[in-house]
Amino acid sequence: MEEFRIEFLECWHKLPNKALFLVLFAAWLALFQFFGNPTLGYVKSASLMRWMLDAYHPAWQFFDSDDGHGVLVPFLVLLLFWIKRKELMGADIRAWPPALALIGFALALHVGAFMIQQPKISIIALFGGIYGLMGLAWGPQWLRRSLFPFFLLVFCIPLGTQGQTITTPLRHLVAIIVTAIAHLGIAPDLIRQGTQLMDADQSFMYDIAPACSGIRSLMVLLALTTIFGFLMFKTTWRRLLTVLAAFPLAVMGNVIRLTFTVLVAEMFGHEAGKNVEQKAGFVTFAVALVGVFLIERWLREPPDRIDQPVSGAGLEVKPT
């Protein structure tokens, strides 16, 4: 802890234009605190940050909410900034007035979002303005080197019911695949109705619920594959492919979990299957982790490229 304190203070003292950034940062946050949320009929506060907390979960039970991960994302971003501290401090740090254009765009975006009562767009403006403030105080190299992890703040935008547009087809796909596998011999009488799975006499029934196979697992996997892709690869297509892998990995993990649930229900009864369904949520993420490491082996970059600094992510990965 003492080493962290010493190194933090050392980096802090080396960082120029701190007063400029902190004053403007405080003013920017004040704007969104007092004139951030236009939808007062839903959350009785003018604060956009208060609206975000309520969107993550009205009862503040973040870990039971599909958007509850938004509370943790800023801390993850700060951690990654700290990991990248040597690279950031090695940039050409200087005031850069052209960043005012980015701040102005973010301000205009918020004004427009405020007028049409779209706080989710205001969240983009909030983070876009902070990004512009960093550029104003510390220059274009800082912006390039901090694009990741700053990009991860996109996961702070709550999707709510809009996420079902993506996850509902995935839930149906999981149900179709599990039914097809079951018909190979595990449970020949398994019937699918939408996202519900049941046997012929309906002695057991499972619903591929959004909490298990929907936006919650997908967003966590997207964050995982995004971090992994930017840390491990330099080329854009490898990073993009790793990020997009979250979708098939989410499907694969839930197919394995639910197939195992059906198998247990056929062998030991409905109650046993129900217990497995409730306690085997970790299987989805275990399968995803294995899949991510297999993707890294498949997409591993040649040694001559690994020795070069990472473009955009700003990391240097050395061969083991």
Q: Give the mean pLDDT of 3-7.
A: 91
Cβ–Cβ contacts within 10 Å for residue 55, how many? 21
What pTM was estimated for this model as a whole?
0.78
| Residue at 3: amino acid letter | E
Element containing residue 291 per DSSP (H, E): helix 282-299
**Would you list the DSSP string of 127-191?**
HHHHHHHHHHHH-HHHHHHHHHHHGGGGGGS--GGGGHHHHHHHHHHHHHHHHHHIIIII-TT-E
β-pair partners for 163: none
Render pLDDT for 42-66 as a digit per residue (tens, 0 to 9).
778 899 999 998 888 754 454 556 6
Number of H helices, E strands in the chain: 16, 3
Cβ–Cβ contacts within 10 Å for residue 245, how many? 23
Q: Give the mean pLDDT of 210-215.
A: 51
Render pLDDT for 173-205 as a digit per residue (tens, 0 to 9).
888 998 999 889 888 888 888 878 877 776 667
Render pLDDT for 135-167 as a digit per residue (tens, 0 to 9).
999 999 999 999 988 998 998 998 876 767 777
Is pLDDT above 90 for 17?
yes
Is pLDDT above 50 for 312?
no
Is pLDDT above 90 for 131?
yes
Q: Provide the CA 36 distance to its chain's centre, in angstroms.
A: 23
